[in-house]
Chain A
Amino acid sequence: MDAATSFYETPASTRFKGIWAWLLTTDHKRIGLMYLFGILFWFLVAVCLGGLIRLELMSPGADILSPELYNSAFTLHGVIMIFLFIIPGLPAAFGNFILPMQLGTDDVFFPKLNLLSWYLYMAGGLIAITALFSDGFADTGWTFYVPFSVSTQTNVSTSVFAAFILGFSSMLTGLNFITTIHRMRSPKMGWMQIPLFSWSLYATSWVQVLATPVVSITLVLVIVERFLNIGLFDPAKGGDPILYQHLFWMYSHPAVYIMILPGMGVISEIIPVFSRKSIFGYKAIVVSSMAIAVAGSLVWAHHMYTSGMSDTAVFVFSLLTFVVAIPSAIKVFSWVSTLYKGAIQMTPPLFLSLCFVYLFSVGGLTGLVLGAAGPDIHLHDTHFVVAHFHFTMFGGTAFAFFAALHYWWPKMFGRMYGFKKAYAASFLITGGFIFHYVPMFILGIQGMPRRYYDYLPQYAQGNFLAGFGALFMIAGILLMVYNLAITFRWERNAPANPWGGVTLEWQTPSPPPLHNFEADPDVPDYPYDFTGVTDPPG
């Protein structure tokens, strides 16, 4: 569109020039892009770490990593992926950029707080880097279980402090989004007209606000114990180490819903557009999103069946875990029903969304296997768990992240990428993913523990195959990034609405002007009504 009037040319404040017009911006779109830059960086770092780990595991014995380094490697991989990529990823990058536009407004409610959240995110990352030196990054696993996290000589306090700072960033983002959704929607947009990505961010934000403080205090207690040795989790001094696990999972289970809800929101946006059909069960998706947020806070101890907690607790939490699967299943039915008898237009965002539906469903079903206390006794802390959470967090959230990248890329950068390479990359990633993680289900059932740098000879074949799959996966990721990056060499001439979408972000130029909308956007009665939209170009 008219290149001279996009937000790239027009900073939020004329006081700042050059790099400062970005580092001191309050424009939600610039902040979203700054987050995106950080998030993609950390994702690639963590992918490399994962590659290192799987390379080490491809053959028995120590190959490229010592046992100590291996422990720090998987801890770092987990900490980065969870606190620097998956939890902030969709909300901070795409939520910041897209949410105000979907609501028909010009920014979030607290723009300066938004910038602060970004600085906290960057600070958390930098603090994590400092933890790499001298005594080395924590070797406890990202779960920092006591007593090892209190006694080990590695830089646990610094690592944990980084996570604490990142938690602050997450809380403030959630606070900002809730206030934005309540107070800044276009006056013509009622609650039942809010697009599903925005709804998913609303549900996510409540979990961010209410659950994150639990991990904040838990991490503070780890630092306190390391320095003061009070003994709050030390049996020799009266404490109970299982209480640490309760506190830790009280956040970290709801955290997985922070991770997946925005992903589900993205899929709920993409599938209707490329089925040319309104989403099936809009209300059900809204209600199930809020239900997931609520029910997700009731099941944390399903991570603790073998910890030594009471049998009653095992029973109760297992029962509730089966309940929380229901609202997620409702969404899968809605997406599939939307596709049914739709006019399907295959595009990279749709392809990635379909992969999401399959991979997340596998992840969810294997979650039920683990949620059942009986099988979990055998599968806890095996590679089955590793496969399960990679299917949900990678096959789920990360794939939704890729889908969001491909869906909103033209809007954010004013350029359309090549489809062929996008499909090739997606295919490579998905194929590699399956070869990488399915062997882990089998290895887990066969009894291979997780977080071990070595294993018994009978697991060698599975690990080799998994490493092989990783190669294709990583190749696919690199191709995907390359395919998107080369668009910056091209002209910025993407249309306002290349996909024929009906949510408000498509009613503005690509990329948008500073205040998002040139004229007050037209809010449809129902957000997914395609009757008025003609076929999209190309």
Chain B
Amino acid sequence: MVAVRGLSRTYGNGPATVHALREVSFDVAPGEMVAVVGRSGSGKTTLLNLVGGLDRPDAGTVRVDGTDVTALDDQGLSRLRRDTISYVFQTFGLIPALTAGENVGVPLRLRRTPVAEREQRVALLLDLVGMRGHELQRPSELSGGQQQRVGIARALAGSPRLLLADEPTGQLDAETGLAVMALIRAIVESEGVTAVVATHDPVMMSLADRVLTIADGQVQA
């Protein structure tokens, strides 16, 4: 599903040069859930951004479902993110002005899904993440765990084939984090989604099919 080859990314220049990733290569099979672990600043987020096409590598390639992400133009990347990849953010990433239901509906609107179908799927997804009854609440009216559940529902709304989650429990307490991790694991299994999850959480690592450790911008054996 994901094939990363010789991926490098450097920030800054001169003495302030930071090598975020150096010659990183790995594969992720379809339906596999991979946990990317490493210290802060080790390059986890950079790796997810490059896989998702949010950032451009200095060298190397990323293939997602056979598509060379690094070769896509802006339109192609947007299409890829809209149809194939979805994100779960550490800070939940909900649009403050929209209700929970409207947030979940954003990817469907991007695909111009018919209204009735959209509403049906939003209800289904909110039910899936245990947020039924919270459709009309704004993000500011939800707890962190609830916001992240809504974020996961939104990530699934477009029926992605690859789910990228950047420390999805980073801002949650242990109990809520555990529930969110279980939810992701359950969804990966039930929806057949491939997931790459950047995390510090040992519990998350235990739920993953494979753990990819990054240190100093390189994947450790």
A and B bound?
A: no
A interface, CB within 8 angstroms of B: none
B interface, CB within 8 angstroms of A: none
